[in-house]
Chain A
Amino acid sequence: MVAYLLRRLVGLIPVLLGISFLIFMLLRLIPGDPAIAILGERSNEEQRDAIREQLGLNKPLFFDLSGEGNVFDTQYFTFMGNILRGDLGTSVLRRTDISGELMTFFPATLELSLAALFIATFVGVTTGVISATSRGSIFDTASMGIALIGVSMPIFWLGLMLQYLFAVNMDVLPISQRVDADLIRGFDAITGLYTIDGLLLGRFDITTNALRHLILPSITLATVPLAIIARMTRSAMLEVLGQEYIRTAWAKGLRNQTVIMRHALKNALLPVITVIGLQLGLLLAGAILTETVFSWPGIGTWILHGILGRDYPVVQGGIMFVAFVFVIVNLVVDMFYAVLDPRIRY
């Protein structure tokens, strides 16, 4: 297991190198001048040169072959060197350290994504199992129909509709933000996840308040993965339920629940976990939209403000960070399979 983990960690290096290379190239190959993007069309050439100087965009791309100065004093190697030191640069607009900003905004996204993942997995698997065991029933038809609509729905629209229904029309839940601002005044967060920090520090009012704020955004973010997980669980369960060993289990008189939970679900879960793993990327992407709808102060809104404010280093650093998180999450999912499926040899 340790050897497998090590091998996978080493295997991460080319992937991360590839991703950073791709982002580097993408941001430079696509036509469009970042200096103009940051300063606007009406800037003069002097200002543009200054910003190019500041961002190091006046250096050669890969190798300095002019013979003057260091061959590696180039955009790519500076960029890679900074990444390896954990330095993602500074924001053009706020002059703040990007790595530091990421650390303040990331917990909000993490909390939202974890809540959504929990809802999607729990509700999705349950729905899938019930659908499969009562195939053709009203529940099955209805839930699969809803699942189909769920994957066709723009989630930001669902978010707006939930806001209208529950925060405006019925007025039972807060419309946006993570927590009431006056509650957390002077509150020293430990993990940055308010629900957990509230419990750790005995501030249960904060936990309940944060939970109430979490409900609508996490449902919004969970919808698409939930629909996909439910459909996958249903088809995996149907396949397993047709196997001979299930008939054997029935034949030896096991209880309904035992056959379904212990014999069928356990074996159907593997493809489901694969799908859940694949949804994590969707969650990260969906977080940008969900956070925008609910003014959730996470990575998504932060990157978006970077884009709209033409804060080039923020965009580059933010996308790089999300991509790295994504790759690492995928690794964790893979490790999970290895634990769950004894057929996988490490």
Chain B
Amino acid sequence: MAVTTSSTSPTKIEALRPQRSLWGDAWRRLMGSTTGRIGLAITIALVLVATLIPFIRPYDATTDRNLRIRLTAPAWSMSEEERTQKEFGMWDQLFGTDELGRDLFVRVLHGSRISLTVGLFAVSLAVVIGSLLGLIAGFFGGWFDTIAVWIMDIMLAFPSILLAIAIVSIRGPGLFNTLLAVGIVQIPIFGRIVRSAVLSIREQEYITAARATGVGSMRILLRHVLPNSLSPLMVQASLSIATSIISIAALGFLGLGAQPPDPEWGTMLSGARNYVGQGKWWYSAFPGIAIMITVLGFNLLGDGLRDALDPRSRT
């Protein structure tokens, strides 16, 4: 809170301002920025859809088929006559149907569950392991630090999707292996963030003070160092969920991720690919738009968090 006005002393200003906690302040700043607000709105809406959809419209991918209406365009995109002739209402199959006559609208909504859960778990895995590695490497230094940094550098020097593909290719296709692969390739990102935060915090006077009062290393790490490296972690986590969701979809698209009939967005696009040439645009359009909106939401949220949590941009 560096308020520098030449006429008034800083202490006076402090007294005039209502006291706010770090997180309260960050929250206000997040809500104050357009990007942050839109990002938060999109992500909250997605989480709501993903949690509520099984109750509103239960879905079983293994039994869902309706061959009578296979590869049907959304009713709203048809002409009036065509709709009456086929006896469709205006809002029937909002997103069209696929080669098994499954309603893509239902499948896309259910896909949000897969993408969000897998993305969240993959990033959590990376955050937990990455932070631990970073904490230990940064705080204790020594040979462990040297080796950890070397491995992380090499992993970062490598296109991450390629690494993910390599991991999945050995473990075999599937959703769980996708989660592992996407999580593992992000470990070094978090490891480096936490390590560099630790390196700068380690030399602070309050750490020396804590040490002088006889606080143990473990307690210093968990109570002083970790909380202070939390903000860059949160920003990166949000951005990482965005890239994870794209990677999950990419693996699904390549046939290495979720397997049919799971309504995963990338897997759906992989099926849609065979029908682009036949002009079935809706089949690929809607799952892709769903990915885009989700990723955009987390990207905006991450940008908003960065502005909100960065003390240097505080006004």
> When the two chains form their complex, are residues B255 and A308 in contact, meaning their CB atoms are under 8 A apart?
yes
> When the two chains form their complex, are residues B292 and A154 in contact, meaning their CB atoms are under 8 A apart?
yes
Closest CB-CB distance, B191 to chain A, in whole Å?
A: 15
For the complex, what is the distance from the CA of A111 to the CA of B40, rounded to whole Å?
41
Closest CB-CB distance, A160 to chain B, in whole Å?
A: 4
Q: Is A257 an interface residue (CB 8 A)?
A: no
B256 to A, closest residue via Cβ: A307
CB-contact partner of B288 in A160, A285, A322, under 8 A: A160
Q: Is A161 an interface residue (CB 8 A)?
A: yes
> When the two chains form their complex, are residues B284 and A160 in contact, meaning their CB atoms are under 8 A apart?
yes
Complex interface: chain A residues within 8 A of B154 (CB): 15, 18-19, 22
Q: Is B187 an interface residue (CB 8 A)?
A: no
For the complex, what is the distance from the CA of A214 to the CA of B256, rounded to whole Å?
27
Given contact pairs A22-B154, A32-B170, A288 touches B296 in the complex (Cβ within 8 A): no
> Which positions 244-288 of chain B face chain A at CB distance < 8 Å?
246, 249-250, 253-256, 266, 269, 272-273, 276-279, 281, 284-285, 287-288
Q: Is B157 an interface residue (CB 8 A)?
A: yes
> When the two chains form their complex, are residues B159 and A292 in contact, meaning their CB atoms are under 8 A apart?
no
Chain A contact patch, size range: 35 or more
Given contact pairs A152-B242, A303-B165, A326-B157, A37 touches B170 in the complex (Cβ within 8 A): yes
Q: Is B50 an interface residue (CB 8 A)?
A: no
> When the two chains form their complex, are residues B162 and A322 in contact, meaning their CB atoms are under 8 A apart?
yes
CB-contact partner of A154 in B151, B155, B256, B291, under 8 A: B291
For the complex, what is the distance from the CA of A284 to the CA of B292, rounded to whole Å?
22
Count chain B residues whose beta carbon lies closer than 8 angstroms to a beta carbon of A.
46
**CB-defined interface of A310-345 with B at 8 Å, one 1/0 digit per residue?**
000001000100110011001000000000000000
Given contact pairs A18-B150, A148-B296, A152-B299, A163 touches B162 in the complex (Cβ within 8 A): no
A176 to B, closest residue via Cβ: B277
Closest CB-CB distance, B262 to chain A, in whole Å?
A: 17
> When the two chains form their complex, are residues A149 and B296 in contact, meaning their CB atoms are under 8 A apart?
yes
B168 to A, closest residue via Cβ: A307
A19 to B, closest residue via Cβ: B154
For the complex, what is the distance from the CA of A161 to the CA of B291, rounded to whole Å?
14
> When the two chains form their complex, are residues A168 and B276 in contact, meaning their CB atoms are under 8 A apart?
yes
Complex interface: chain B residues within 8 A of A168 (CB): 276-279
> When the two chains form their complex, are residues B162 and A19 in contact, meaning their CB atoms are under 8 A apart?
no
Q: Is B158 an interface residue (CB 8 A)?
A: yes
CB-contact partner of B299 in A31, A37, A148, A154, under 8 A: A148
CB-contact partner of B250 in A151, A154, A307, A308, under 8 A: A154
Complex interface: chain A residues within 8 A of B254 (CB): 288-289, 292, 304, 307
For the complex, what is the distance from the CA of A157 to the CA of B252, rounded to whole Å?
12
Q: Is B160 an interface residue (CB 8 A)?
A: yes
Q: Is B171 an interface residue (CB 8 A)?
A: yes
Complex interface: chain B residues within 8 A of A15 (CB): 154, 157
> Which positions 139-167 of chain B face chain A at CB distance < 8 Å?
150-151, 154-155, 157-163, 165-167
Q: Is B51 an interface residue (CB 8 A)?
A: no
> When the two chains form their complex, are residues B155 and A22 in contact, meaning their CB atoms are under 8 A apart?
yes
> When the two chains form their complex, are residues B166 and A154 in contact, meaning their CB atoms are under 8 A apart?
no
> When the two chains form their complex, are residues B292 and A161 in contact, meaning their CB atoms are under 8 A apart?
no
> When the two chains form their complex, are residues A322 and B151 in contact, meaning their CB atoms are under 8 A apart?
no
> When the two chains form their complex, are residues A288 and B161 in contact, meaning their CB atoms are under 8 A apart?
yes
**CB-defined interface of A204-218 with B at 8 Å, one 1/0 digit per residue?**
000000000000000
> When the two chains form their complex, are residues A157 and B162 in contact, meaning their CB atoms are under 8 A apart?
no
> When the two chains form their complex, are residues A285 and B166 in contact, meaning their CB atoms are under 8 A apart?
no
> When the two chains form their complex, are residues A164 and B169 in contact, meaning their CB atoms are under 8 A apart?
no
Complex interface: chain A residues within 8 A of B278 (CB): 168
For the complex, what is the distance from the CA of A158 to the CA of B163, rounded to whole Å?
23
> When the two chains form their complex, are residues B162 and A288 in contact, meaning their CB atoms are under 8 A apart?
yes
> 3 nearest interchain CB pairs?
A157-B288, A285-B159, A152-B296
> 14 other contacts beyond A154-B288, A169-B279, A288-B254, with CB at 8 A cut-off?
A22-B154, A27-B170, A37-B169, A148-B300, A153-B288, A154-B292, A156-B269, A160-B288, A281-B158, A282-B159, A284-B159, A315-B169, A319-B162, A323-B162
30 contacts between A and B (CB under 8 A): A15-B154, A19-B154, A19-B157, A22-B154, A26-B166, A26-B167, A30-B170, A32-B170, A152-B242, A152-B296, A152-B299, A154-B246, A154-B250, A154-B266, A156-B253, A157-B269, A157-B288, A161-B281, A161-B285, A163-B277, A168-B276, A168-B277, A168-B278, A281-B158, A282-B159, A285-B159, A285-B162, A307-B256, A319-B165, A323-B158
